Amino acid sequence: MHSEEAKILGDDGEIHIEDEAVDLSHTIFEAWVALGFFWALGLTVFTQFFTRYVLNDSAAWTEEIARYLLIAVVFVGAAIGVAKNNHIQVDFFYRYMPRKMGHALALLVDVLRTAFLGAAVVYTGLMMERMSSLKMTVIDWPVNWVYGICMFGFAAMCVRSILVTRVHWQRGYTVLQRPESTMEDR
C-alpha cells in the first residue's frame, strides 16, 4: 500500500471510497446557458417521443423546436471550447519551428480566430436585419430568435477568444507551442 489515504480496502474488509467535492465555481456563464438549452432540448425530444409513440398523435412543433434548440446548444456551447482553448488544432509544426517564430505564428492564430468570430457577429447581425420579417415554419415566432442565439454564441466566443489571447500573451506561450498546457496553467 502507498499510504493510509490511498487505502481503498479497509481493515474491516469493506471498500471505503470518498468522492471529491464538486467545484462548479469555474463554470463559465455560457456553459450554464448551454445546459439550459440542452435540458429544453431533452424535454422537447421527450415530448416528441411521447406524443408520437405513446399518444400516437405527433406534436408537429417539436421537430422544428428541437432543431432550433440543438443549434442553440452548439453555438452557445462552442464558447466553452473557446474558453478552454481546446478546439481542434495542429501543433505538429510548432515543435520544429524556432521558438520566436512559433510564438508569433501562434499569436497570429489567436488574432485571426478573434477577428473571424468578430466578423461572424457582424455578419449575423446583418443577416438578421435582412430576415427580420421571416417567421418559423410551424410556429408563428420570428426566426431571428434563432439567429439571435447564434449571434450571442459568436459574441461569447469572440469575448472568450480575446481573453485566451490575453492569457497567451501574458504567459509567453500558447497551447500550440506547449500542447500539454491548459488554460488553467499560469
Q: Is 184 helix (H, G, I), strand (E, B) or coil?
A: coil
* Amino acid identity, position 171: R
List the domain range (segments joined by +) for residue 89. 29-171
Q: Which residue, chain included where needed, has cell 517564430?
A: 101
Residue 106 placed within a domain: yes
Residue 185 placed within a domain: no
Pairwise CA distance, residues 10 & 131, whole Å: 66
- pLDDT tens digits for range 90-100: 777 888 889 88
- pLDDT tens digits for range 118-174: 999 999 999 999 998 899 888 889 999 999 999 999 999 999 999 999 998 988 888
Backbone angles phi, psi at 76, to 5 degrees: -75, -40
Residue 15 placed within a domain: no
Higher pLDDT, 151 or 182: 151
Residue 8 placed within a domain: no
Provide the 8-state DSSP code for 133. T
Higher pLDDT, 17 or 36: 36
Residue 48 placed within a domain: yes
In total, how many domains does the chain have?
A: 1
Residue 55 placed within a domain: yes
Residue 141 placed within a domain: yes
The reported pLDDT for the residue numbered 180 is 77
The reported pLDDT for the residue numbered 1 is 43
Higher pLDDT, 1 or 105: 105
Backbone angles phi, psi at 165, to 5 degrees: -60, -40
Residue 14 placed within a domain: no
Q: Is the pLDDT of residue 3 over 60?
A: no
* Amino acid identity, position 57: D
